[in-house]
Amino acid sequence: MSKLRTKFERFCYQNSHKGIPNLMLYITLGSALVYILSMFDRSYTLYQILRFDKALILQGQIWRLFSYVFLFDAGHILVTAIALFCYYTLGRAMESAWGTLRFNLFYFTGVILMDAFCMIFGGNANITYLNMSLFLGYATMYPNARFLLLYIIPVRAWIFAVVDLALTVYQVVALTAAGLFPFSLFPLVAIGNYFLFFGKDVLNVIPLSWRVKLSPKRKHKSPQPTKPPIQFRVVQPTQKPKETYTHRCEICGRTDVSHPDLEFRYCSRCQGYHCYCEEHINNHEHVQ
């Protein structure tokens, strides 16, 4: 699985310029336009045209598989504008770090997962959890970024991420207990793109100091030193053969040979081809 993930990340890195550049700009502008037009549409005709509807999709209105992403409404126009700008900023930051192709795949994977679930089990796909996956992705990449709670109190991104995940799990459990299974699984499916693309990196929402304390220390058996042969004359020491490896962390020097239980990633923000282990992929100075 780790080799497949490495190949996927390498493919995205090599084709990072492909896809729809600045995707979140089109999403947020489209959402703003739909919101403004809906203010003058008291009959909700535009909403009815764009919303997800399984029966109408089966009749041929396939645009509904994607058009619902433009139906964003946070209530007040000012709150909606701030929220759309926030999601645009998060998306642009992720696209800058990942490249266009990988971010496009991340976003559209979330849409496809929601479409597939609602087409199989029914229900109404919405943009709420897809936007949450954007925030979770940003918080995983930049856990120490600060957001202003109530525009006053600075709170780190990882705290919001943990709270969002906890509330999502609680909602799934509550809906399941109310007898709404399998529809109760929709929140987890809707943020499934986050788990698919980040894998073990979701642990980045936990501060590094906590992870060091909670994770058990890895113990590696050091090879027993062998006694050198008795030499009766001075000879030049032979050079130790170089260790053959595929991946080597540029921070700690560990390789996939010396530490086969580690995962290694290539940073898309560094100039060139730079490899890091799972403990340093998000904790290093980027090469410019």
Whose tokens are 């906890």? That residue is 166
Q: Distance between CA 146 and CA 157 in Å, rounded?
A: 6
Residue 279, SS3? Answer: coil
Q: Distance between CA 166 and CA 188 in Å, rounded?
A: 11
Which pLDDT score, from 0 to 100, does residue 13 have? 81
Pick from 190, 199, 197, 203: nearest CA to 98: 197
Tokens of 98: 């990942």
How many CB atoms are closer than 10 A to CB 142? 18
Measured over all CA atoms, what is the biggest interatomic distance in the chain, rounded to whole angstroms? 100
pLDDT single digits (tens) 196-224: 888 777 776 666 656 555 555 555 555 55
Which pLDDT score, from 0 to 100, does residue 208 have? 60
Q: Distance between CA 90 and CA 67 in Å, rounded?
A: 21
pLDDT single digits (tens) 108-136: 999 999 999 999 988 888 888 899 999 89
Q: Distance between CA 266 and CA 80 in Å, rounded?
A: 37
Q: Distance between CA 232 and CA 23 in Å, rounded?
A: 73
Q: Distance between CA 1 and CA 159 in Å, rounded?
A: 29
Q: Give, in order, the Cα–Cα distances in Å from 266 to each of 8, 10, 97, 109.
A: 11, 7, 12, 22
Q: Are 103 and 23 in contact (CB under 8 A)?
A: yes
Helices and strands of the chain, counted as H and E runs: 12, 4
- Topology at the third CATH level for domain 2-212: Rhomboid-like fold (1.20.1540)
Residues of the chain with pLDDT under 70: 1-2, 150-151, 204-243
Q: Domain ranges for the chain, please list them.
A: 2-212, 245-288
Is the pTM value of this prediction over 0.75? no
Q: Are 139 and 205 in contact (CB under 8 A)?
A: yes
Whose tokens are 């946070």? That residue is 74
Q: Are 12 and 98 in contact (CB under 8 A)?
A: yes
Among left, alpha and beta (phi > 0; psi -120 to 50; other), residue 276 is beta
**Per-residue buried b or exposed e for 105-116, using 16+ beta carbons within 10 Å of the residue's own CB:** bbbbbbbebbbe
